[in-house]
Amino acid sequence: MDKGPNIPPVVEQVHQAPHQPHIDVAKERGEILLRYRGLLRTIKGHRTPDDTRLIRKAFNIALEAHKDQRRKSGEPYIYHPLAVARICSEEIGLGTTSVVCALLHDTVEDTDLTLEDVRDLFGPTVANIIDGLTKISGLQFGTDSIQAENFRKVLLTLAQDVRVILIKLADRLHNMRTLDSMVRDKQLKIGSETLFLYAPLAHRLGLYSIKSELEDLALKFKEPTVYLDIEQKLKKGEAVRKRFISRFTLPIRESLDKEGFTYEIKGRPKSIHSIYNKMLKKNVSFEEIYDVFTLRIIIDTKQELEKADCWRVYSVVTDYYQPNPDRLRDWISTPKANGYESLHTTVMSPGGRWVEVQIRSKRMDEIAEMGLAAHYRYKDDEEHASALDDWLGRVREVLEDPSSNAIDFVNDFKLNLFSDEIMVFTPKGEMINLPAGATALDFAFDIHSHVGRQCIGAKVNHKLVPLSHKLRSGDQIEIITSKKQQPKEEWLNYVVTARARHKVKQALREQKRKLAVVGREAAQRKLRSWGAKVDERNMAVLVEHHRATSSTDLFYRIARGRVDLDILGTPRVRNGRLALPKIVVLEEEKPLEDVVSGIRGEASGALVIGDELQKLEYQLSTCCNPIPGDDVFGFITQGEGIRIHRVNCPNAVQLMSNFAYRIVKARWKGKDSMEFLAGLRFSGIDEVGLVNKITSIISHQHNVNMRSISFESNAGIFEGRVMAFVQDTDHLSSLIEKLRRVHGVRSVERIDN
């Protein structure tokens, strides 16, 4: 066992940097030693003396390499690799190799240590993982948000060694936990990037607790008021929840004890992000969300008895409480693609509220909490290991095509990261997992790319359906093919899986290349007839004249009849050189730099934008209708100046993640006598005179001009919408508060458009 006798001499190397005058060096040494020993304790169960020596060696090297570095918070940098290593071992369940890599993960990029040094000291496996982590450029803490091309690099490393991504997730989780020390715009960019890529990846790899925490932390920094409000309401109701769970589980515990089960019952609130999403999706308030917590029954049983025992526990639960048949989810008989297994049911409690109950074995719970990493511990479980291998195989398949556009690639890949799953069957009864919303065409491509390319229709449950038909769980599908069929552009509107989109785009590019050959020959014939040389220089003149993106694009358009070279008549040719007039570039096609310089004017406005805080011309985006007082950012468009979006705009996450270089700081300055359009939606119990009360408050008490107002009443329930002109968020909040006090009004909320 490592008692740490060799650590203090190395810790002595942590010294006071000249620009940090008030640092208690001795206290920091003690804290580093404490954190190192804490890390060792988390891997105590499966740690050999050799493992300990290797970890100590990595720790000492990382400590020496980072000795002059500090984080934005002022803490010694070594705190970060120690924390990442601890997340890897304690929260993801990774072993010694990953802990060593986590300790060293920033050394090659940020210090004098080279990859060759790491290879010599720790061998090829550790070096390859460190190399993978280093190659994900732009991901280290404190830089600008990564772009689509970097996402592709992330996924390339995933296809090589999954541990690279797991360590990167641990790194991101610790960075999110310590994001307070960053400036606001960095918090927004890093938070958006986390929601865009890292949370979906954690979800797909089965790391549900990490996925939930990443989402919660992203929400905390993107919308602090919303986060704090839900967090306080959850804390406020904690005592009531505990009493309810205690009463609810009492008869279940008694029965399980009689049956002789070894079990544990946990009641945990759902993540703040998932509660907020449900509020948005169902258009309800926090108080109207009935399932803010989940009850989990974890049984300790042998692997061969798991399925039967879980159903026995289900029987016990439903003996006491009425289940909702539409809410039964059996992921024990058919685990999710990432290996997740559990039995979910929703039952009615005596107090008249629905309660979600999850039933699983200890092994299943470990896989649910630690995801892919737990599979390393259950390698004999071939069924789940192969499901994971299948998924990683598909990742590699999508990565095979380096010519695809980086942003398209990321969007295609993300389609499969965060989607729910359906289970469908082939005519022979083989089961296939597809994302929810998948079509018959997706199924065809899932069978084989040739089947997909030649697909002309399908029979679902023996009934003929079109390619665009959306599949449902339990459907049995037979694909109808024809050798004459060719993929079409419109197919991209039907498919939702990354595999199908990738294959359709690949086929369309092949078709384009074949047609381009025909177009090239036509262009060459035309050049000869004009007496011009058939060479690249003259082809470039034709490309420029027709404003094609490339010669291939021009040849394709000629073959399809979209470009008619006969219109040119007989152009001027001198010494074999073709001379054609240049087309004037339209305003919207100016380079980004020209667009930015073009919109830097002195026009007065209520918005101040950018690091230099110049006043610029801008437009308020219609997707979220920002008003003064909103937390906003600017997005540089090509040709339309700067558009202002709210931070919680539906498009914000994608804009900040994919186009961070076009994001500029924005804030409202002063209170101009301007009015901005904002929308409100309200609902409640229909009463006589209610509409009159609402319009009176809006028009007379608040002097608000309305652009439109509409009401609908159905069986005693009314719903209304109003678009009105307000001065700022304070003005809007005051109006919302007044409307909520009207007798009969149950909810009032702002809408985006």
3-state SS, one letter per residue, for 131-163: HHHHHCCCCCCCCCCCCHHHHHHHHHHHHHCHH
- Measured over the CA atoms of residue 204, residue 208, residue 209 and residue 214, the dihedral's sign is positive
* CA distance linking residue 618 with residue 624, whole number of Å: 15
* pLDDT at residue 106 is higher than 80: yes
Catalytic residues: 109-110
Q: Please indicate, yes or no, whether residues 374 and 389 belong to a single structural domain of this protein.
A: no
The CATH number linked to 733 is 3.30.70.260
Q: Please indicate, yes or no, whether residues 373 and 390 belong to a single structural domain of this protein.
A: no
Calculate mean pLDDT across residues 389-405: 55
* CA distance linking residue 619 with residue 617, whole number of Å: 7
* CA distance linking residue 696 with residue 679, whole number of Å: 17
Among 439, 503, 437, 432, smallest CA distance to 467 is for 439
Contacts with 27 (C-beta within 8 Å, 6 or more apart), sequence order: none
Calculate mean pLDDT across residues 19-23: 57
Segments in 283-348 forming alpha helices (H): 306-320
Q: Please indicate, yes or no, whether residues 457 and 516 belong to a single structural domain of this protein.
A: no
* pLDDT at residue 722 is higher than 70: yes
Domain assignment of residue 347, yes or no:
yes
Report angle CA 94, 98, 102 to the nearest 5 degrees: 120
pLDDT tens per residue, range 567-610: 777 777 777 787 776 554 444 444 433 433 333 333 333 455 54
Helices (H), strands (E): how many in the chain? Answer: 30, 23
Q: Please indicate, yes or no, whether residues 655 and 731 belong to a single structural domain of this protein.
A: no
pLDDT at 341: 87
Domain assignment of residue 1, yes or no:
no
Among 118, 63, 126, smallest CA distance to 96 is for 126
pLDDT at 619: 74
Distances (CA, A) of 615 to 594, 599, 604, 605, 633: 18, 10, 7, 7, 14
Domain assignment of residue 659, yes or no:
yes
pLDDT tens per residue, range 404-424: 554 555 555 555 554 567 778
Domain assignment of residue 2, yes or no:
no
**Residues 604, 629: contact at Cβ < 8 Å?**
no
Rg (CA), the chain: 31
- Between β-strands 607-609 and 717-726, what pairing exists: parallel, antiparallel or unpaired? unpaired
Q: Would you state the structure tokens that stand for residue 108, as one six-digit string?
A: 């090659």
Among 700, 686, 698, smallest CA distance to 736 is for 698
Report angle CA 106, 112, 117 to the nearest 5 degrees: 85
The CATH number linked to 436 is 3.10.20.30
User: Crossing angle, helix 208-222 and helix 224-236, to 10 degrees?
Assistant: 120
Residue 148 φ/ψ, nearest 5 degrees:
-60, -35
The secondary structure of residue 194, as a DSSP letter, is: I
User: Where does residue 715 rank: exposed (0-12), middle (13-18), buried (19+ CB within 10 A)?
Assistant: exposed
**Domain boundary at 560, 583, 606, which?**
583
* pLDDT at residue 86 is higher than 80: yes
The CATH number linked to 343 is 3.30.460.10
Q: Please indicate, yes or no, whether residues 171 and 240 belong to a single structural domain of this protein.
A: no
Among 272, 269, 165, 181, smallest CA distance to 218 is for 272
* CA distance linking residue 317 with residue 308, whole number of Å: 15
Domain assignment of residue 359, yes or no:
yes
Among 326, 324, 331, smallest CA distance to 346 is for 324
Q: Is 64 helix (H, G, I), strand (E, B) or coil?
A: helix
Distance of CA 316 to the CA centre of its chain: 38
The larger pLDDT score, comparing residue 368 to residue 222, is at 222
Q: Is 744 helix (H, G, I), strand (E, B) or coil?
A: coil
pLDDT band at 392 (very low <50, low <70, confident <90, very high): low
**Domain boundary at 624, 647, 668, which?**
668
* CA distance linking residue 197 with residue 195, whole number of Å: 6
pLDDT at 10: 43
* CA distance linking residue 446 with residue 590, whole number of Å: 42
Domain assignment of residue 265, yes or no:
yes
The edge-to-edge listing of strands for the beta sheet with 717-726 is 705-714, 717-726, 676-685, 745-751
Q: Please indicate, yes or no, whether residues 292 and 396 belong to a single structural domain of this protein.
A: no
Rounded (10°) CA dihedral 164, 165, 169, 170: -30
Number of domains in the chain: 6
End-to-end CA distance of the chain: 63
* pLDDT at residue 372 is higher than 80: no
pLDDT tens per residue, range 120-172: 888 888 888 888 787 664 443 333 334 455 555 556 655 567 788 888 889 99
* CA distance linking residue 144 with residue 186, whole number of Å: 7
* CA distance linking residue 703 with residue 738, whole number of Å: 13
The residue type at 198:
Y
Domain that holds residue 486: 385-498
The larger pLDDT score, comparing residue 348 to residue 72, is at 348
Q: What percent of the chain is predicted at pLDDT more than 70?
A: 78
The secondary structure of residue 718, as a DSSP letter, is: E
Q: Would you state the structure tokens that stand for residue 12, as one six-digit string?
A: 């002595």
pLDDT band at 297 (very low <50, low <70, confident <90, very high): very high
Q: Please indicate, yes or no, whether residues 618 and 663 belong to a single structural domain of this protein.
A: yes
pLDDT at 389: 59
Lowest mean pLDDT among 213-222, 346-355, 617-626: 617-626
Among 140, 165, 143, 144, smallest CA distance to 154 is for 165
Distances (CA, A) of 722 to 694, 698, 714: 10, 9, 18
The larger pLDDT score, comparing residue 310 to residue 615, is at 310
* pLDDT at residue 401 is higher than 60: no
Domain assignment of residue 606, yes or no:
yes
* CA distance linking residue 353 with residue 244, whole number of Å: 11
The larger pLDDT score, comparing residue 616 to residue 655, is at 655
User: Crossing angle, helix 49-65 and helix 25-42, to 10 degrees?
Assistant: 150
Q: Please indicate, yes or no, whether residues 592 and 541 belong to a single structural domain of this protein.
A: no
Q: Is 425 helix (H, G, I), strand (E, B) or coil?
A: strand
The CATH number linked to 26 is 1.10.3210.10
Lowest mean pLDDT among 50-54, 181-185, 619-623: 619-623
Length of the chain: 753
Q: Would you state the structure tokens that stand for residue 420, as one six-digit string?
A: 């729910």
Q: Please indicate, yes or no, whether residues 625 and 706 belong to a single structural domain of this protein.
A: no
* pLDDT at residue 97 is higher than 70: yes
* CA distance linking residue 342 with residue 333, whole number of Å: 9
* CA distance linking residue 360 with residue 335, whole number of Å: 12
Q: Please indicate, yes or no, whether residues 576 and 592 belong to a single structural domain of this protein.
A: no
What residues form DSSP beta bridges with 577? Answer: 574
* pLDDT at residue 465 is higher than 80: yes
pLDDT at 157: 58
**Residues 607, 599: contact at Cβ < 8 Å?**
no
Among 9, 91, 6, 12, smallest CA distance to 55 is for 6
Q: Please indicate, yes or no, whether residues 568 and 658 belong to a single structural domain of this protein.
A: no
pLDDT tens per residue, range 522-550: 888 888 888 788 788 878 888 877 777 77
User: Where does residue 487 rank: exposed (0-12), middle (13-18), buried (19+ CB within 10 A)?
Assistant: buried
Domain assignment of residue 471, yes or no:
yes
**Residues 628, 671: contact at Cβ < 8 Å?**
yes
Q: Please indicate, yes or no, whether residues 576 and 469 belong to a single structural domain of this protein.
A: no
pLDDT at 1: 45
* CA distance linking residue 263 with residue 109, whole number of Å: 47
Distances (CA, A) of 236 to 229, 230, 232, 242, 649: 11, 10, 6, 12, 29
The edge-to-edge listing of strands for the beta sheet with 463-465 is 463-465, 455-460, 477-481
Instruction: Write out the H or E segment, with its range, that includes residue 215.
Output: helix 208-222
Average of per-residue pLDDT values in the chain: 77
Residue 69 φ/ψ, nearest 5 degrees:
-100, 145
**Domain boundary at 608, 641, 668, which?**
668
What residues form DSSP beta bridges with 34? Answer: none
